[in-house]
Amino acid sequence: MGFFSRLMGGSDEQKTAASEFEILAPVSGELVHLEDTNDPAFSSRAVGDGVAVVPQEGTVCAPVSGTVAALFPTEHALGIMSDDSSAQVMLHIGIDTVKLEGKGFHALVAQGDHVDAGQPLVEVDFDAVRAAGFDPTVFVIACERSENSTLREHASGPVAVKEPVVWLSE
């Protein structure tokens, strides 16, 4: 059973994608590979594969079109099941930001909502996150995907919101 399935108590069935599937940057900023981040769970890829972006702006956007499968009460993390069920993508905003108990985060969507790729999801006061001593890095993780899929990542460096940063293919 997969990450969101365990979280939400659902089944682990997934459809397979016939073509390449793009995951977009949720914010503009500096893309870094997971192994270069300061969070052991993400840098070891224990949570899943993907990338991270050190943000320049305060609105986090949907990396894929789909349904908000999970929205944590602190609004610092959410999961989206893609429309074609080829991937379940988690966004985690900041390192240890759960300790902020939602301060500096304002969700624009609710669990169960359908979202379009690029749609604003969460407004974040990244200055407040930094001032509180937290790393604001936004993680984009493909938590569940077809076992036969391959994942390709964008090179490190500047990225713009809505720019493809991860590609999944069969």
Active-site annotation holds for 92: yes
| Residue 4 included in any domain | no
User: What's the pLDDT score for residue 52?
Assistant: 97
Q: Is residue 163 part of a domain?
A: yes
Query: Could you tell me the CATH number of the domain that includes residue 122?
Result: 2.70.70.10
The whole-number pLDDT of residue 17 equals: 37
pLDDT (mean) for 96-109: 97
Whether 112 has a pLDDT exceeding 60, the answer reads yes
7 within domain boundaries: no
Q: Is residue 10 part of a domain?
A: no
Is residue 23 a part of any domain in this protein? no
Asked if the structure places residue 156 within a domain, the reply is yes
Task: State the residue for tokens 């990244």.
Answer: 126
What is the number of domains present in the chain?
Answer: 1
Q: Which domain holds residue 60?
A: 29-169
pTM of the predicted model, to two decimals?
Answer: 0.86
CB 3 within 8 A of CB 144: yes
Q: How confident is the model at residue 1 (pLDDT cuts 50, 70, 90)?
A: very low
- DSSP letters for the chain: --HHHHHHT-----PPPSS-EEEE-SSSEEEEEGGGSS-HHHHTTSS-EEEEEEESSSEEE-SSSEEEEEE-TTSSEEEEEETTSSEEEEEEESSSGGGGTTTTEEESS-TT-EE-TT-EEEEE-HHHHHHTT---PEEEEEEEE-TT-EEEEPPSEEE-TT-EEEEEE-
What pLDDT is attached to residue 130? 96
Q: What is the predicted pLDDT for the residue at 83?
A: 92
Q: Give 16-65 pLDDT, tens digit per residue.
A: 334 788 999 999 999 999 999 999 999 999 999 999 999 998 899 999 99
Q: Which amino acid is at 106?
A: H
Structural domain contains residue 13? no
What strands, in cross-sheet order, belong to the sheet with 150-153? 21-24, 164-169, 150-153
What pLDDT sits at residue 3? 44
Among the listed residues 33, 92, 106, 154, the single catalytic one is 92
